[in-house]
């Protein structure tokens, strides 16, 4: 990971953490935050759960109550569960985290960019209500804490970290297993660091926010250490999407091309670190793992079973993480944009049959699909000659595409905005 990241932000705590566990260089997510978070919670592609895209403020969104979350699975196994941070999977009673398996939560129901609304010229609260910081406990209504304005945006990660540390200490003292999901809000735009970190790096607000995130991760790791539960606590650090392209908070895609909401590697490949001292050996590898794999892997660790009445797209990666097998249980996956499969990734190949610069641009359906090898061509600049040396990969890539299309036809996805109660068509009486 290097001592200094892009933008001039030192990250000593994350660097040390990475050296203690496994670091994946080919961990992949969905193209935007809500689909990725739905995939993380359910082990199912965002399109299956009705979470096709992010940023549709004012529309019902999130997970229908029929979906099963990792928090529910953990809770059933006796774990204390908490969420501190950005939820983005439902902003109404019945869909808040404390309704979806979490014993307690504190954070924002939607996205950080809504903190800018009050400052927007002509803003009318009668049209779009300001986002609030909320908190709730299982069995109780979620309540408003305060308005999520720009100042609250700066300081929320400090509060999320403080609450996470307290939760860890409480559960360790009670000798109860715990599951803490801590989706910190940085470095989503507006990337404004906390006041204590403003100007810390001398390289701008984005670098300051990265340094702040590093500090908060360190505080959480210290709490685990001080609680005496390091050796039986699994810590995962990952992201829900690639770099943002909006200035002045533009991130970097490194050697890859593309940004958040594209199907390019710069959108899909994000950091992934996992530490389990004495069980997961430190190291770096380039095996393909997808965010949908996290749920079934954690379920197995907790002794829980994934639902069997629906397609589960994720695969259990525990044996790979433990070194019991040399490679991942996954070689590829389909890529969705706004609910539509647009490409397939398999080993080192990317196969595009629809081109879409990002989720807001119209699709271009290709009469002749385009193939790249992302190992030799990480920026996806030079299409391969599919009629010559790479013709052998086409049947596999096409079969992956056809398999997902057939599965979506056999098990129709939840429609975006679907209300509760929800029963999928293949489970309805009479079918």
pLDDT tens by residue, 320-352: 999 999 999 999 999 999 999 999 999 999 999
Q: What is the pLDDT of residues 126-137, one digit of tens each?
A: 888 889 999 999
Residues 6+ apart with CB under 8 A from 197: 208, 209, 211, 212, 215
CA distance 302 to 76: 10
Q: What average pLDDT score do residues 50-67 get?
A: 81
CATH architecture classification, 4-321: 3-Layer(aba) Sandwich (3.40)
Q: What band does 8 get if pLDDT is binned at 50, 70 and 90?
A: confident
In the chain, residues under CATH classification 3.40.720.10 are: 4-321
Residue 67's closest CA among 29, 100, 104, 36? 100
Residue 7 scores a pLDDT above 70 = no
Question: Which residues are bridge partners to 344 per DSSP?
Answer: 334, 351
Q: What average pLDDT score do residues 67-83 get?
A: 98
Q: What band does 169 get if pLDDT is binned at 50, 70 and 90?
A: very high
Q: Which two tokens stand for residue 305?
A: 């079973």
294 contacts 314 by C-beta, under 8 angstroms:
yes
Q: What is the pLDDT of residues 211-231, one digit of tens each?
A: 999 999 999 999 999 999 999
18 contacts 264 by C-beta, under 8 angstroms:
no
In the DSSP assignment, the letter for residue 282 is: -
pLDDT at 3: 36
Burial of residue 174 (CB within 10 Å: 0-12, 13-18, 19+) is exposed
| Mean residue pLDDT across the chain | 93
CA distance 121 to 140: 37
89 contacts 95 by C-beta, under 8 angstroms:
yes
Q: What average pLDDT score do residues 20-45 get?
A: 97
Q: Which two tokens stand for residue 114?
A: 């809504």
CA distance 189 to 175: 38
104 contacts 134 by C-beta, under 8 angstroms:
no
pLDDT at 55: 54
In the DSSP assignment, the letter for residue 269 is: B
SS3 342: strand
Q: Give the C-alpha distances (Å, rounded to integers) separating 114 from 55, 118, 149, 317, 328.
A: 10, 8, 8, 36, 38
Residue recorded with tokens 């009629």: 387
Share of the chain above pLDDT 70, in %: 96
In the DSSP assignment, the letter for residue 349 is: E
Q: Which two tokens stand for residue 352?
A: 């595009």
Q: What is the pLDDT of residues 383-420, one digit of tens each?
A: 998 877 888 999 999 999 999 999 999 999 999 999 99
SS3 221: helix
Q: Which two tokens stand for residue 19?
A: 């050296």
Q: What band does 148 get if pLDDT is binned at 50, 70 and 90?
A: very high
Residue 2 scores a pLDDT above 50 = no
Residue 273's closest CA among 6, 5, 27? 27
Query: Rounded to the nearest 5°, which phi and psi values hold at 271?
Result: -65, 145
Q: Give the C-alpha distances (Å, rounded to integers) separating 389 from 43, 258, 282, 393, 424.
A: 35, 26, 37, 9, 44
CA distance 373 to 383: 8
Please determine, looking at this structure, whether the domain spanning 332-427 carries the CATH number 3.30.1120.10.
yes
Q: What is the pLDDT of residues 227-277, one digit of tens each?
A: 999 999 999 999 999 888 888 888 888 899 998 899 999 999 999 999 999
Q: What average pLDDT score do residues 16-21 get?
A: 97
């Amino acid at each position: 990971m290097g001592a200094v990241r892009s933008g001039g932000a030192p990250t000593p705590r994350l660097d040390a953490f990475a050296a203690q566990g496994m670091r994946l260089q080919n961990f992949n997510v969905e193209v935007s935050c809500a689909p990725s978070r739905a995939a993380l919670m359910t082990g199912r592609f965002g399109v299956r759960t009705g979470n096709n895209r992010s940023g549709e403020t004012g529309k019902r969104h999130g997970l229908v109550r029929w979906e099963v979350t990792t928090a529910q699975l953990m809770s059933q196994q006796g774990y204390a569960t908490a969420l501190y941070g950005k939820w983005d999977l439902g902003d109404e009673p019945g869909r808040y985290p404390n309704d979806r398996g979490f014993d307690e939560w504190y954070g924002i129901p939607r996205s950080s960019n809504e903190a800018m609304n009050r400052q927007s010229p002509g803003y009318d609260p009668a049209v779009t209500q300001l986002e609030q910081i909320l908190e709730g406990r299982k069995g109780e209504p979620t309540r408003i804490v305060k308005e999520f304005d720009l100042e609250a945006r700066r300081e929320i990660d400090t509060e999320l970290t403080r609450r996470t540390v307290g939760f860890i200490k409480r559960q360790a003292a009670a000798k109860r297993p715990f599951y803490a999901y801590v989706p910190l809000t940085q470095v989503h735009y507006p990337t404004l660091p906390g006041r204590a970190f403003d100007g810390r790096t001398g390289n701008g607000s984005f670098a300051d926010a990265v340094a702040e995130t590093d500090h908060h991760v360190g505080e959480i790791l210290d709490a685990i250490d001080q609680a005496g539960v390091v050796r039986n606590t699994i810590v995962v650090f990952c992201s829900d999407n690639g770099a943002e392209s909006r200035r002045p908070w533009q991130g970097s895609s490194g050697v890859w091309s593309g940004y958040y909401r594209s199907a390019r590697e710069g959108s899909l490949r994000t950091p992934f670190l996992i530490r389990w001292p004495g069980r997961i050996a430190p190291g770096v590898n380039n095996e393909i793992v997808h965010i949908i794999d996290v749920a079934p892997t954690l379920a197995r660790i907790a002794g829980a079973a994934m639902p069997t009445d629906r397609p589960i797209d994720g695969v259990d990666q525990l044996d790979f993480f433990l070194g019991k097998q040399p490679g991942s249980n996954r070689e590829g996956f389909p890529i969705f944009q706004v609910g539509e499969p647009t490409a397939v990734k398999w080993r080192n190949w990317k196969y595009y049959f629809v081109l879409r610069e990002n989720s807001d641009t119209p699709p271009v359906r290709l009469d002749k699909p385009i193939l790249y090898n992302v190992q030799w061509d990480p920026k996806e600049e030079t299409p391969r000659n599919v009629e010559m040396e790479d013709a052998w990969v086409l049947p596999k890539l096409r079969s992956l595409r056809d398999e997902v299309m057939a599965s979506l036809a056999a098990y129709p996805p939840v429609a975006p905005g679907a209300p509760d109660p929800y029963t999928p068509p293949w489970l309805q009486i009479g079918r």
